[in-house]
Chains A and B, each alone.
Chain A
Amino acid sequence: MSEKTETEPKGCWFLVGDTCPEDIHTREDMTDDDRAMTDTVVSFFENEVVPKMDEIDAQNFDVTVGLLKQAGELGVFMADVPEQYGGLGLSMKNSAGLGEASGMVGAFGVACGAHLGIGMYPIMLFGPDEMKEKYVPKLATAEMIAAFCLTEPGCGCDALSAKSKAVLTEDGQSYIINGTKQFITNGGFADCYTIFAQVNGKLTAFLVTPDMAGFARGPEEHKLGIKGSSTTQIIMTDLKVPASNMIGEIGEGGKIALGILNIGRTKLGLGLVGGSKYAMQVAVKYGLERVQFGQQIIKFPLIKEMLGEISARIYAGESSTWRTAGFIGYIMHGIHSGEMEPGKGLAELAVEAALEKVAQSEHNDYIVDACLQIMGGYGYTSEYPMERAYRDARISRIYEGTNEVCRLVGGGMPFRAAAKGEIPLMEVMERARFRIQTANMDFGCMCGPLGDVEEQLAKMKTIYGYCAGLVFRKYAGAFDKMMEGEEYLGNLHNLAMEIYLTESALLRTKKIMAKNGENEILAALLRIYANYAAGVCSKSLWEVVRAAMTPSQIATVREGLNAVCPFAVVNLLELRRKVADAVIAREGVWPIW
């Protein structure tokens, strides 16, 4: 893996090449403006939204919509919008902090995300100019609220097989749409819906508004969590929509839907990291006040152990989501300047978006669970905010593509990229096979202060290459057959995900240390995460090896398999305590170093 990356980011590149620390975007790269904007939005959420969380969760939609409008006037949704449409012309690089902030406010954040991340983007990126001019400025200020309607009662994961139909009228001026959309966030109050329907069997996107005859909303769903978000059916009965309301071309619905979901997944990832940070702050505050056996509970070593793990996952999550935000910023720049076709640009993100979505939702799940545990019996009561955060977290593994669907994307798409010649995966697979066969784990000089993690990452990439090769050969390179080997793809996804998070945390740590000097808290955060990632990778390696190889085949490469298992030798107890002490000193407020 000695090739050097070009400076511009490239989808899946992290699997086949190395990246320089200075080439990734990190939270530390925020400009003064980015920080001022994020601070403003955080204090708006803290002072205006958090106190109203009970009203919001009681589905008092007047409160929710009122706050959405207030947020809109403040400019919360303007950052990513080009200036010509009333936005600030920034990119996700600059607005990543805003994305994180939305994770503090549970169901309200979901409403914001549905409006911005998936509601507004289809029109903004794929709509005709007149549509953009008419709607985007109003969406940017939340004068109008948007929703995205892909799922149907019978088509969830298999979303592109939507049954809704759109038929052109005889005069050619309109389409008549019939069908029902399911689980539509903001469904109860949005003013502007992107819906997907089949035109002669080709999935196509349309902009639909509630004033159109034949438009109806179903009742609110009763949900486990994110209770304050509106979730309804949208029922279209002979709904007549002008032909000019088509978003993109006939048959481009799939490309639009999947592209927009890539944005939604990364924005969701940012929100989840923000939510995790906020949860830790709440739990630490409680743990500082709660005294048992004459000691603040936050200072007990088994609580510190949790703080160490929570912090490491936040650190790696933050490192990877901001890196991906930088990547999206680069792609958006290309799209807005006309250099990149939107569908192609967004498709470039597919693997990273899927990894982010799975990683951050699963880490957030672990983190709210641990935070609730720190708060004990009180955490379990609805008097305290963690009970809500715990319930709210569960949806993240389901919506925006279930984690199972995302795992097929993250595990399978690199083969497709390789087949198109976009990444040199075949070479990587061959090199990994050679390394395992010869048990050669010499990766060249990795002698810096973080050399142990660098070496471990190189081993993790070797495991990925080796496992990808086993799967590829098992199915003789037939992509459709490989997609049936879902458990293999799940393992490949897990490997890719841990590589991406560990590498992002490593590169960020190097970038910060190059500027500010060595920092033992950062190094500890990185090593705790790398240790966790090593466990995942070893498990996946052995699962794939034992399923794809015979015992005698395994015997011939056992030495290599043992050598590649990437356990770094660290004193986890000490590292976690060190990190926890830093968390306690800052009273749970991130960053802790």
Chain B
Amino acid sequence: MADLKILVLVKQTFTTEARIQLDAQGKIVDKGIKYVISPYDEYAVEKAIQMQEAGGGIVRILTVGSDKTLETMRIALAMGAAEAVRVWDPCLETADSQITAQVIAAAMKKVPFDLVLAGKAAVDDQSYEVPARVAGLLGLPLVNAITSLSVSGTTAKVERETDAGKETIEVPLPAVLTAEKGLAEPRYPTLPNIMKAKKKPVQVYGLGDIGLSAAALKPAVQVLGLSTPAPRKGAAIIGGSPQEAVKELVRRLKEEAKVL
């Protein structure tokens, strides 16, 4: 479809290598941490751009985030997205998946789309909820964790891996599809495109612009506290010949770990 309008929902997250530390108040210390497009979202962005390059169409990205997200939005634009839309209000700092989905669904009334792509989950909170909630709010069909996608006419054909094998699904557009690893291998944005991305339009909406107000947004989840995982206990290396080592391992699993 030559004029396919693809909207990709992206979230800025910490890099997966980042070591998360909490301050005395139990809040995450973001000093010195690098931000990236959440990797599953990046697969979605790449797939959308490949479709745009193959058959025309236009890719827009949509994010909920403060102006700190501009740097990662630029990366998506440098990869090839045509436009970006950012929605922000300071009250969204602590938004849960329900509020984020409400905001995205409201913003999508301002942005034309035939197809909505997103990562299957953000690598930070791993809630897996936002795309599903958006689909629910807008009454759109949803397929999660797809590994291939093609569009013909007003139908998308997608594949997803299941425990039983590969599932092929046809879904009418518009639809919300979420990306699994393998959907597309993200490109490196070229340096000239990084420079050009600056000139691409970034539309910024406040809550009022999309017909919402802070008072109307009610969270479904309340965060009671954050803690870092307990440090891993030291590993033990069992010496001796393979036969002896296996015997000893089985003994320890039975007698010490009591898992056998």
* Chain A residues within CB distance 8 Å of chain B: 32-33, 35-37, 39-41, 43-44, 73-76, 78-79, 88, 291, 586-587, 589, 591
Q: Please choose the segment from B44-52, B92-100, B186-194, B216-224 that sits at the chain A interface, where 4 or more of its residues have CB less than 8 A away.
A: B186-194
B195, CB-defined interface residue at 8 Å: yes
Specify which of B32, B75, B190 is in contact with A74 (CB 8 Å cutoff): B190
Contacting pair A75 B190 (CB below 8 A):
yes
Contacting pair B32 A33 (CB below 8 A):
no
Number of A-B contacts (CB under 8 A): 44
Specify which of B32, B189, B190 is in contact with A591 (CB 8 Å cutoff): B32
Specify which of B74, B75, B191, B234 is in contact with A78 (CB 8 Å cutoff): B191
Lowest 3 CB-CB distances: which A-B pairs, in order? Answer: A75-B191, A75-B190, A36-B194
Contacting pair A586 B32 (CB below 8 A):
yes
List 9 A-B pairs, Cβ < 8 Å.
A32-B71, A33-B194, A36-B194, A74-B188, A74-B190, A76-B191, A78-B191, A78-B192, A291-B234
Which chain A residues lie closer than 8 Å to B234 at the CB level? Answer: 291
Q: Chain A nearest CB: distance from B233 CB in Å?
A: 13
Contacting pair A32 B192 (CB below 8 A):
no
Contacting pair B19 A88 (CB below 8 A):
no
Chain B interface mostly helix, strand, loop or mixed? helix
Instruction: Report the bound CA distance from A37 to B74 in whole Å.
Output: 11
Q: Chain B nearest CB: distance from A286 CB in Å?
A: 16
Q: Considering the complex, which residues of chain B in the window 53-94 have a beta carbon less than 8 Å from any beta carbon of chain A?
A: 70-71, 74-75, 78
Q: Chain A nearest CB: distance from B245 CB in Å?
A: 21
Instruction: Report the bound CA distance from A8 to B198 in whole Å.
Output: 29
Contacting pair B194 A73 (CB below 8 A):
no
Which chain B residues lie closer than 8 Å to A586 at the CB level? Answer: 32
Instruction: Report the bound CA distance from A586 to B18 in whole Å.
Output: 10
Contacting pair B188 A88 (CB below 8 A):
no
Which chain B residues lie closer than 8 Å to A79 at the CB level? Answer: 191
Which chain A residues lie closer than 8 Å to B74 at the CB level? Answer: 32, 36
Report if A74-B71 is in contact (Cβ < 8 Å); known contacts: A33-B198, A36-B78, A591-B32: no
Report if A44-B188 is in contact (Cβ < 8 Å); known contacts: A32-B71, A32-B74, A35-B71: yes
Instruction: Report the bound CA distance from A591 to B192 in whole Å.
Output: 27
Chain A interface mostly helix, strand, loop or mixed? helix
Specify which of A74, A291, A589 is in contact with B191 (CB 8 Å cutoff): A74
Which chain B residues lie closer than 8 Å to A76 at the CB level? Answer: 191
Instruction: Report the bound CA distance from A75 to B192 in whole Å.
Output: 7
Contacting pair B190 A73 (CB below 8 A):
yes
Q: Considering the complex, which residues of chain B in the window 158-211 have a beta carbon less than 8 Å from any beta carbon of chain A?
A: 188-195, 198
Which chain B residues lie closer than 8 Å to A587 at the CB level? Answer: 19
Most buried by A among B19, B71, B75, B195: B195
Q: Considering the complex, which residues of chain B in the window 1-43 have a beta carbon less than 8 Å from any beta carbon of chain A?
A: 19, 32, 34
List 4 additional A-B contacts (Cβ < 8 Å) besides A36-B189, A39-B34, A88-B192.
Answer: A43-B188, A74-B188, A75-B194, A78-B191
Which chain A residues lie closer than 8 Å to B193 at the CB level? Answer: 75
Which chain A residues lie closer than 8 Å to B75 at the CB level? Answer: 36
Most buried by B among A32, A36, A37: A36
Instruction: Report the bound CA distance from A291 to B75 in whole Å.
Output: 40
Contacting pair A33 B188 (CB below 8 A):
no
Contacting pair B32 A40 (CB below 8 A):
no
Q: Chain B nearest CB: distance from A352 CB in Å?
A: 26
Which chain B residues lie closer than 8 Å to A36 at the CB level? Answer: 71, 74-75, 78, 189, 194
Instruction: Report the bound CA distance from A40 to B74 in whole Å.
Output: 12
Contacting pair B191 A40 (CB below 8 A):
yes
Specify which of A35, A44, A73, A88 is in contact with B195 (CB 8 Å cutoff): A88
Which chain A residues lie closer than 8 Å to B189 at the CB level? Answer: 36, 40
